[in-house]
Structure 1
Amino acid sequence: MFTCNPCNRRYDDQASLDFHLLFSPCHAHKCGSCSKYFTSEADLIAHAAEAHHHAFECKPCGQVLNSRDLLRVHRESNLHERMTNSPVNAFFRSWPNFPFHVQLPPHKSWEQLHMFYGWDDQAPEYRAAWIRYQDALASEVTIWFGDVLDLESWQKLCRAVGIDPLPGTCADGYMAIRNLYVNLIDLIQWARTGRVDGEVKRWKNNADLFEYSIATRRIFERDVTANDKPNVVLRHLTNCMLPR
């Protein structure tokens, strides 16, 4: 039997457990302060704002810390600098009166923006906004992983997907990630939240990754595959990193 530690549900095989961990809403969003679970990021954010008044928010980048000391350390960090200059944050904050929550993953904020303005999917306004959103995602990749000559960027990529040992050169980094299949929005959110190493799920092939990306609406389509499907393959990340 395979047991889900957060909720103690049991499954007959690893594949069923993996599916549960990816898609079950019962424990997808955990409060770091009190360990309660919520079915959506929006519910979690509302809970944190109401129940944990001791939190300290960094106004420029939207990060929430548990103490003034942590807030002070955060403001001197690379995370603060990059979140302050985040193209994704700038895109969502450019829409008048839209209630943007920086803690939400980009694809969730896009869904909320879509509903907020009530766009028809065929409307020119929708398509123009979608293109701007995709451009913001591409720029966000560059903010976090964009220096192809920086070994730290390659090592960060490898940490995100759990590659060990970390590469010792940029060339080793390229070789390590070139055949991996990872959703780029998952990768962006990992960088934006400073999560634990190896948390970004690796997929066996492009077909499985494509199915996951469409099902969860985590779509990055700045580059497209030969059959015009959204390109969400990590090996194509190098196309965003290399000079054009």
Structure 2
Amino acid sequence: MARKKKGQRNIVQEFDNYFGSGTLDDWQRLCKDIGLRGEFGSKTKCRKALRTVHINIHDLLDAVKQGREPHRFRNVHELADYTVENDKIYPKKAVKEMGPVRALLRRVL
């Protein structure tokens, strides 16, 4: 994993701390924090639901800290423009195969 620059946010560690160990409760909390409504009785249902939303992971963590829902972009193009313009990119090489970030990650470059 690349070193972070001094003063730069360690987004991978922040997300890992927020998400927890990956229990169904952790997945359900993530769906709720994003503002998804419905019954998510399995991790697979959560993953499928997360694929339908376009959010920035940096903004998700900030919103959770502030007790609000993160901004949801209408499409991947809006998310990509915002992410690149604001340099809020999650490092692809830190993504776990079946983890929640995989479900949230979009191609922005």
- Per-residue Cα deviation, 1:66-113 (whole angstroms, up to 9, x for no partner): xxxxxxxxxxxxxxxxxxxxxxxxxxxxxxxxxxxxxxxxxxxxxxxx
Q: Which runs of 5+ in 2 are unaligned?
A: 94-98, 105-109
> Equivalent residue for 2:96?
none
Q: Aligned match of 2:73 in 175, 198, 203?
A: 203
Superposed CA RMSD: 3.1
Structure exhibiting the larger radius of gyration computed from Cα positions: 1
Q: Which has the higher strand share?
A: 1
Q: Spell out structure 1 runs of 4+ moving beyond 4 A.
A: none
Q: TM-score with structure 1 length normalisation?
A: 0.34
For residues 222-237 of structure 1, the aligned pairs below 5 Å read: 222-223=91-92, 237=101
Q: Is 1:159 the equivalent of 2:32?
A: yes
Q: Is 1:133 the equivalent of 2:8?
A: yes
Q: Is 1:143 the equivalent of 2:51?
A: no
How far residue 152 of structure 1 moved from its aligned partner, in angstroms, is 1.7
The answer as to whether partners of 2:51 and 2:103 remain within 8 angstroms in 1 is no
The answer as to whether partners of 1:155 and 1:173 remain within 8 angstroms in 2 is yes
For residues 1-244 of structure 1, the aligned pairs below 5 Å read: 129-130=4-5, 133=8, 136-148=10-22, 150-193=23-66, 195-196=67-68, 199-215=69-85, 217=86, 219-223=88-92, 237-238=101-102
Q: Which amino acid aligns with 2:62?
A: Q
How far residue 162 of structure 1 moved from its aligned partner, in angstroms, is 1.3
How far residue 181 of structure 1 moved from its aligned partner, in angstroms, is 1.2
Percent sequence identity over matched residues?
A: 20
SS of the residue corresponding to residue 92 of structure 2 reads coil
The answer as to whether partners of 1:158 and 1:166 remain within 8 angstroms in 2 is no
Q: Structure 1 residues 238 and 145 mapped into 2: Cα distance closer, same or farther (>3 Å)?
A: farther
SS of the residue corresponding to residue 165 of structure 1 reads coil
Q: Structure 1 residues 138 and 204 mapped into 2: Cα distance closer, same or farther (>3 Å)?
A: same
SS of the residue corresponding to residue 203 of structure 1 reads coil
Q: Which amino acid aligns with 2:77?
A: A
How far residue 128 of structure 1 moved from its aligned partner, in angstroms, is 5.2
> Equivalent residue for 2:107?
none
- Per-residue Cα deviation, 1:42-86 (whole angstroms, up to 9, x for no partner): xxxxxxxxxxxxxxxxxxxxxxxxxxxxxxxxxxxxxxxxxxxxx
Q: Which amino acid aligns with 2:17?
A: I
**Cα distance in 2 between the residues matched to 1:128 and 1:166:** 39
**Cα distance in 2 between the residues matched to 1:179 and 1:165:** 13
Aligned residue pair count: 98
**Cα distance in 1 between the residues matched to 2:100 and 2:25:** 19
Q: Which amino acid aligns with 1:210?
A: A
